[in-house]
Amino acid sequence: MKLSWSVLLLAGFVLPAAAAELQTIAVDVGHSLQAPGARSASGQTEFSFNRRMALQLAEQLRERGLDVQLIGADGNITQLTERTRQARGRQLLLSVHHDSVQVQHLPEAGRFQGYSLFVSHKNPYAAQSLACARQIALSLQEAGERPTLHHAEPIAGENRPLADAALGIYWFDDLVVLKTATQPAVLVEHGVIVNPAEEQRLAQPEVIQKLARAVAAGAARCQPAGMEP
Ligand SMILES: [Zn+2]
């Protein structure tokens, strides 16, 4: 079913030129069991937060009628390019992450909170990626979330140029999952799990559901770009 649907889309039978509704999406669970990403304030892996959020996001997207491919949920992907290979043929790629701060800021991690979004100029659809990130950010803000701007701080490991400060969107050109994607791609940092209060909030089922619903609503407003065969 998945294959024939892709073939129909590629052949142009399903989407007339005027239709601009997103229909297919890949949801990437950031990190893996072997390389689990950041550690939360209480010592949980970022991968565990990403997986929970991605499962909820996939559910919310399916409820909206999108055909969702979940990537990396078993935690066994070791190559970053394997993620973008699996996403081929999808109209949008979202990579699900949770955030940390540089090591010198860990003692004051309690002052960092908020979401952030990343896009890459090296993505073949950079403009569409940014447009899509804006929709997701607007939706998160409608849900009461606020961006964190700490990735723009002029220190080693940060220094990211802001694409849109008000919406919390940064350029991160060399993020592999963004630059090797064959469709518009956005990496979502859902919140700062090294902040103890934020970690607690981000582990609550109702908060996970709220964030996933907001990201899904924003993603559903993205205009699909043309796909590479
Ligand atoms: Zn991450």
Q: How far is the CA of 45 from the centre of ligand 1 (A)?
A: 10
* Confidence bin at 228 (pLDDT 50/70/90): very low
In a domain, 8, yes or no: no
In a domain, 97, yes or no: yes
In a domain, 7, yes or no: no
- The total number of structural domains in the chain stands at 1
Q: Which domain does 197 fall in, by range?
A: 24-101+108-220
Q: How far is the CA of 178 from the centre of ligand 1 (A)?
A: 13
DSSP string over the chain: -HHHHHHHHHHTSSS-TT-----EEEEEE-S-SSS---B-TTS-BHHHHHHHHHHHHHHHHHHTT-EEEEESTTS----HHHHHHHTTT-S-EEEEEEE---GGGGGGGGG---BEEEE-TTSTTHHHHHHHHHHHHHHHHHTT--B--GGGSSSTT--PPEEETTTTEEE-TT-HHHHT-SS-EEEEEEEETTSHHHHHHHTSHHHHHHHHHHHHHHHHTSPPPP---
Q: How far is the CA of 39 from the centre of ligand 1 (A)?
A: 10
Q: How far is the CA of 50 from the centre of ligand 1 (A)?
A: 8
Asked if pLDDT for residue 229 goes beyond 60, the answer is no
In a domain, 3, yes or no: no
* Confidence bin at 20 (pLDDT 50/70/90): confident
Q: How far is the CA of 24 from the centre of ligand 1 (A)?
A: 23
CATH code of the domain in which 214 resides: 3.40.630.40
* Residue labelled with tokens 């007339």: 16
Q: How far is the CA of 97 from the centre of ligand 1 (A)?
A: 5
Q: What is the pLDDT of residue 60?
A: 98
In a domain, 226, yes or no: no
Q: Stretch 20-48: mean pLDDT, rounded?
A: 96
In a domain, 120, yes or no: yes
Q: How far is the CA of 117 from the centre of ligand 1 (A)?
A: 12
* Confidence bin at 224 (pLDDT 50/70/90): confident
Q: In the chain, pLDDT over 90 holds for what percent of residues?
A: 88
Q: How far is the CA of 10 from the centre of ligand 1 (A)?
A: 32
In a domain, 227, yes or no: no
In a domain, 13, yes or no: no
Q: In the chain, pLDDT over 70 holds for what percent of residues?
A: 90
Q: How far is the CA of 89 from the centre of ligand 1 (A)?
A: 24
Predicted confidence (pLDDT) per residue in 125-184, tens digit: 999 999 999 999 999 999 999 999 999 999 999 999 999 999 999 999 999 999 999 999
Q: What is the pLDDT of residue 71?
A: 98
